[in-house]
Structure 1
Amino acid sequence: MLTNPDSHITVLLTIGCAALVTYSLRIGGLLLSDRLPQSGRFKRFMDALPGTILLSLIAPGIASAGFWGGVGALCTAICTYKTRNVFLAMLIGVGIVAISRQLSP
């Protein structure tokens, strides 16, 4: 618990500055989006960016889950590709990892 009144001000100032920086970046992106190239290499890079960000978030989890985490991720990807049902694919992936954890000593 914070007891020093100066620490309350510091916390509020830190939160305010973080909010200001966050929203400045968002507004800046919206204002600059019209000036970015709409074709060529930069457009291809920007089109691929969401997938690379998603992969960078998922890959550490797969790696830390070990072999069966990789098998579950691969089965999830295949099921999503074949059925286009993300919920079913996630259930299969989670099921594979859960069963492997129950069967391992």
Structure 2
Amino acid sequence: MSTIFWITLAGAVLTYLTRIGGHLVLSRFERIHPRVEAGLDAVPAAVLTTLVAPAAMEGGPAEVAALVTGVLIALAGGGMMPLFLSSAAVLILLRNIL
């Protein structure tokens, strides 16, 4: 079999083990310490920050406008799909115009 097949298979297995590993470790405990729980609750915000911060700092006007659009829709109480679609539409439109 080709090398690409084995690399893909290894990547899939490692991804699965990474995803299931956290669940298996935490399921062994009856109760999670509040500090651990607070740290785990902070992970989505930290990941989002690492994705958004470079676009905000190094992006052009199209990226900044898309971020502002996303923030406004989030503050208005829009769901994730309207937030994503409107920000993507603003980004695509302004990248083609500018």
TM-score range normalised by the length of the shorter chain: 0.5 to 0.7
Deviations 1:65-91 (A, max 9, x none): 324532441242123212425516852
CA distance in 1, matches of 2:71, 2:16: 35
Query: Which protein shows a greater Rg?
Result: 1
Once residues 92 and 17 of structure 1 are traced to their aligned partners in structure 2, the CA distance between those partners, rounded to angstroms, is 35
Identity %: 21
Q: How many residues were matched structurally?
A: 96
Show the counterpart of 2:36: 42
Show structure 1 runs of 5+ residues with no match.
none
Between 72-81 and 85-94, the greater mean CA deviation after superposition: 85-94
Q: Which structure is higher in RCO with an 8 Å CA cutoff and minimum separation 6? A: 2
What runs of 5+ residues in structure 2 fail to find an aligned partner? Answer: none
Q: TM-score if structure 2 supplies the norm length?
A: 0.64
Contact kept, 8 Å, 1:76 with 1:89, in 2: the verdict is yes
What's the RMSD between the two structures over aligned residues?
3.2
